[in-house]
């Protein structure tokens, strides 16, 4: 029988609306979290790491994956504080290693993390889902952020649609669109103002994708050898969505982008986070081919699904679908990942089992009555994890 992936859960710490002691009820085997209160570019103290571990231990669980030790804008843009921030990053890795935590997820998206235009689009079943609408995003870019270069980023038809949409929005709807776009990851960029966003964008005025990829490789050239020496695994999360926004370069949006970064720093510690929801927005993405090409370097998996609903071929609009719906064949993806695990186990790899988590989720049932962090409703993710667990249980006996 093939073993399932390890079932983990993202928990945002003491401020998470779901108490850590409730997670075993969902069948969670391990916890994914981070010290969100520590600013990027600052080393994580061992005492803070151990305090978070103690909180998680209350539920009989362990902190298994860090998501994330954030890569600062100074590192991404290679500005004045870059060297100091890389040194702090190495110190954070050493502290995590001393605490026994070996897997660290991060991303290399400039300025914004995941980007959506709605945090609660009504669904036919009565629940809600996060969504990205290209016209709404263009309205933000052209008329709320008022980025000068935005006039060249959209064709006349889309610009006209965005203008009409903006005119139809009242002040409250415009404020919600603004706050949604700049929100980024919960606990990270949710307090950014428009002026903060403009200032951050300015650091990338003369930085194209080739240079950003070079900066990523420079960063990995510094930190991956440290991770390798410590017996740790670094895994980069893809761009979300996997196309350029606000004139910012993107370099981890495809299998080819990943291969370039992993080949450039060819160490086992330098790996990938396969996020089927982020990469799956692109119509030409094949998750099974991703596993076939880069499987040995996949250290962490986010399983979620998205559905394309218009927009442009290279910049589609989409919404967060149910985990077994949407454009990604989740059964084929899990089959490929479980086959990869079997190969690792047969070869004697100590880290043969790949941790996964049900990423995002639609807000359903009691989620709609209480607070939850955007993209992370309790019941919607519990449903997703149960569905994924069922698929893995069926695949475990496939061919046995």
Q: What are the φ and ψ backbone dihedral angles of 221, each rounded to 5 degrees?
A: -60, -25
* Sheet strand arrangement including 118-122: 118-122, 128-132, 316-321, 305-311
Cβ–Cβ under 8 Å, residues 100 and 117: no
Helices (H), ranges, the chain: 46-57, 73-77, 82-98, 134-139, 156-168, 171-181, 194-202, 209-230, 255-264, 276-279, 287-294, 330-347, 378-396
- Would you say 382 and 26 are in contact if contact means Cβ atoms under 8 Å apart? yes
Please give the structure tokens belonging to residue 316.
């589609």
Contact 332, 386 (CB under 8 A): no
Joined tokens for residue 97 = 């290693």
Residues 6 or more apart from 293 whose CB is under 8 A from it?
A: 255, 259
CA distance 31 to 65: 7
- Which of 141, 239, 286, 359 is an active site residue? 359
Are the C-beta atoms of 73 and 201 separated by less than 8 Å?
no
38 token code pair? 């520590």
Quick one: which of 230, 235, 236 has its CA closest to 100?
Answer: 230
376 is catalytic: yes
- Catalytic entry in 85, 215, 299, 302: 302
Catalytic choice (85, 299, 323, 360): 360
Catalytic annotation on 302? yes
Instruction: State the pairing for strand pair 316-321/298-303.
Output: unpaired
Short-list 147, 185, 158, CA closest to 278: 185
CA 99 centroid distance within chain: 24
Residue 36 among the catalytic residues: no
Candidate list 237, 323, 367, 372, residue with the active-site label = 237
Catalytic residue among 82, 97, 105, 275: 275
Q: Which residues are catalytic?
A: 237, 275, 302, 359-360, 376
């Amino acid at each position: 029988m093939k073993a399932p992936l390890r079932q983990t859960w993202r928990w945002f710490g003491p401020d998470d609306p779901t108490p850590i002691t409730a997670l075993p009820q969902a069948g969670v085997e391990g916890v994914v979290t981070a010290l969100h209160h520590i600013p990027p570019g600052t080393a994580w103290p061992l005492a803070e790491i151990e305090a978070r571990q103690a909180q998680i231990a209350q539920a009989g669980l362990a902190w298994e994956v860090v998501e994330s030790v954030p890569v600062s804008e100074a590192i991404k843009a290679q500005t004045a504080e870059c060297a100091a921030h890389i040194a702090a990053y190495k110190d954070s890795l050493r502290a995590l290693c001393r605490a026994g935590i070996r897997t660290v997820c991060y991303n290399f998206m400039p300025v914004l993390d995941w980007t959506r235009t709605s945090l609660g689009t009504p669904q036919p079943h009565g629940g809600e889902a996060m969504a990205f609408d290209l016209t709404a995003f263009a309205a933000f870019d052209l008329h709320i952020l008022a980025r000068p270069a935005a006039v060249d980023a959209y064709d006349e038809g889309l610009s006209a649609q965005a203008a009409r949409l903006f005119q139809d929005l009242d002040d409250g709807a415009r404020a919600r669109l603004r706050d949604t776009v700049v929100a980024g990851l919960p606990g990270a960029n949710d307090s950014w103002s428009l002026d903060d966003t403009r200032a951050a964008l300015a650091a990338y005025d003369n930085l194209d994708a080739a240079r950003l990829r070079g900066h990523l490789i420079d960063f990995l050239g510094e930190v991956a050898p440290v991770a390798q020496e410590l017996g740790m695994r670094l895994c980069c999360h893809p761009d979300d969505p996997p196309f350029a926004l606000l004139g910012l370069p993107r370099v981890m949006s495809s299998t080819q982008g990943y291969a370039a970064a992993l080949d450039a720093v060819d160490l086992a510690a330098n790996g990938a986070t396969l996020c089927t929801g982020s990469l799956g927005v692109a119509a030409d993405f094949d998750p099974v081919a991703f596993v076939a090409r880069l499987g040995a370097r996949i250290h962490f998996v986010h399983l979620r699904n998205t559905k394309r609903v218009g927009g442009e071929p290279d910049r589609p609009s989409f919404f967060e679908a149910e985990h077994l719906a949407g454009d990604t064949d989740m059964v084929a993806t899990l089959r490929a990942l479980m086959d990869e695990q079997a190969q690792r186990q047969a070869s004697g790899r100590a880290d043969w089992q790949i941790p996964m988590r049900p990423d995002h989720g639609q807000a359903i049932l009691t989620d709609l009555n209480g607070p939850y962090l955007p993209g992370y409703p309790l019941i919607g993710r519990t449903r997703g994890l149960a569905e994924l667990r069922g698929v893995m249980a069926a695949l475990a006996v496939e061919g046995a």
